[in-house]
Structure 1
Amino acid sequence: MTPHVRPLLDWSPDAVVFDCDGTLMDSERHWVEARSLAFREFGLQAPAGFAEQAKGMHYEECGRLMADSVHKPELASGLTGALLDHFLELVTDDPVTMPGAVQLVRTLSGRLPLAVASNCPMVVVEGSLERAGLRTHFQHIVVPETGDSVRPKPWPDVYLLAARLCGVPPLRALAVEDSLTGVESAHRAGLRVLGVGPRPAGDGAERADLWLPSLHEPELLTWAETRISGGPEPD
């Protein structure tokens, strides 16, 4: 936890920005399967440990990494296209929210601005949130295609733009993330960060202010219900 700031759950942000894959939507498993199918389509096999290496990565960068990992950089475009096609088919057939996501979003909704900052294409984020019944709770969705100058995570761009659209300084916004790529992006943008899910190995996890096993943790829901009022922060 960052030493010079108040503990995260003793703090009230002015906006919350969520990652989508693996944070709100249980779609990381779809990316894993889509990568496997794309490799198989080209007669290839994913190297050991590739799933963890690719977690949270923008799909175009992932396609390039897939090609480089099997020493066939000339296949980057084909693997990228196959990856996205397989993922869209899988996520359309099986949209599932992460534990606690619906309750937390609905609790926060209307109390302060909510946004999504994702490395996924807009069609994926919009469609997933719509099917999960969550789309109307978010005022803004920011993805790399939002603008020519918006670079994917781990660049800070998506979080900087999300905070600006919410009308708050980055230091007054909370990012909710599940991957080291996303945590790095939010940290570089100046947001405070809540990590959710299994805590990843490596020093990058320390950039989050707090890690919790899921969005369904009682202390998190209590925080949302009691400290987030949309008014001035209590002393």
Structure 2
Amino acid sequence: MSATDDHLLNWSPEAVVFDCDGTLMDSERHWQEARSRAFREHGLQPPPGFAEQALGLHYEDCGRLMAQSVHKPELIEDLTAALLDHFLALVTEEPVTMPGAARLVRLLSGRLPLAVASNCPRVVVEGSLERAGLSAHFRYIVVPDPGDRVRPKPHPDVYAVAARLCGVPPHRALAVEDSLTGVEAARRAGLRVLGVGPQPPGGGATGADLWLPALDAPELLAWAQAPDGPRGRQDPG
């Protein structure tokens, strides 16, 4: 364990804010299949490397990128609608949590406020967490909302709002993320960041305080259940 690892896992946040797609729920594969179906539906093929470019994007931004990547700007609305329709069908058929997600959430629940900050539509996040049996553990779910001027990641808004709702300063909250888009958003909001899953190529993973292969990493579970581990105010606000 490096000095950075030790420092983060000896820290006690006052709130934890989770990303949903690819962090709590194994839904990135659904987004990938939904993108493929939307492209095929319009007789198109995704360009090489598109999956990496789309990781963590809000679905509207992804639909825009899809159209731009194949030089068909006139298809932005059609591809965006097809993308969301296919994803909703896939995630409804097969909601699956990421390894260790349910256990970690249950270990932290009741010890400190938990929230979700996601680029997905609210109906997707709420439905996924409900089917996974996790929704009762989260006090708040924050998603992009133009009406409330909450912009999607990589803007910091969803994380800033989640920390505020939990009643803690951003620097006292921990974000849990799987994408560089999400890491950037959390960092810009002032949260500390735990990255999980395969490390992205390049140096982007250094934006997180610590990167672990999964939520069931032994050192993370030990931290979550330690008597002197994470704990926060129980009545935020």
Please indicate the TM-score interval, normalised by the length of the shorter structure. over 0.9
Q: TM-score, normalised by structure 2?
A: 0.94
Q: What is the alpha-carbon distance in structure 2 between the residues aligned to residue 86 and residue 110 of structure 1?
A: 36
Query: Which residue pairs with 1:116 in the alignment?
Result: 116
Deviation at residue 4 of structure 1 after TM alignment: 9.5
Pairwise CA RMSD? 1.5
Query: Which residue pairs with 1:171 in the alignment?
Result: 171
Once the two structures are superposed, the pairs formed by residues 96-115 of structure 1 within 5 Å of their partners are 96-115=96-115
Unaligned runs of 5+ in 2: none
Q: What is the alpha-carbon distance in structure 1 between the residues aligned to residue 13 and residue 146 of structure 2?
A: 24
Q: Do the aligned partners of 1:59 and 1:80 also contact (CA within 8 Å) in 2? A: yes
Q: Do the aligned partners of 2:4 and 2:210 also contact (CA within 8 Å) in 1? A: no
Unaligned runs of 5+ in 1: none
Query: Which residue pairs with 1:203 in the alignment?
Result: 203
* Gap change, CA 1:41 and 1:183, over 3 Å in 2: same
Q: TM-score, normalised by structure 1?
A: 0.95
Once the two structures are superposed, the pairs formed by residues 52-131 of structure 1 within 5 Å of their partners are 52-131=52-131
Q: What is the alpha-carbon distance in structure 2 between the residues aligned to residue 204 and residue 230 of structure 1?
A: 30
Counterpart code for 1:84: L
Moved more, 208-217 or 144-153: 144-153
Query: Which residue pairs with 2:182 in the alignment?
Result: 182
1:149 has 2:149 as partner: yes
Counterpart code for 1:185: A
Deviations 1:110-137 (A, max 9, x none): 0000000000000000000000000000
SS at match of 2:145: helix
Counterpart code for 1:32: Q
Q: Do the aligned partners of 1:122 and 1:145 also contact (CA within 8 Å) in 2? A: no
Counterpart code for 1:129: L
Deviation at residue 228 of structure 1 after TM alignment: 2.0
Find runs of 4+ consecutive structure 1 residues off by over 3 angstroms.
Answer: 3-6
Aligned residues between the structures:
229
Query: Which residue pairs with 1:159 in the alignment?
Result: 159
Deviation at residue 201 of structure 1 after TM alignment: 1.2
Q: Do the aligned partners of 2:11 and 2:230 also contact (CA within 8 Å) in 1? A: no
Q: What is the alpha-carbon distance in structure 2 between the residues aligned to residue 51 and residue 64 of structure 1?
A: 14
SS at match of 2:185: helix
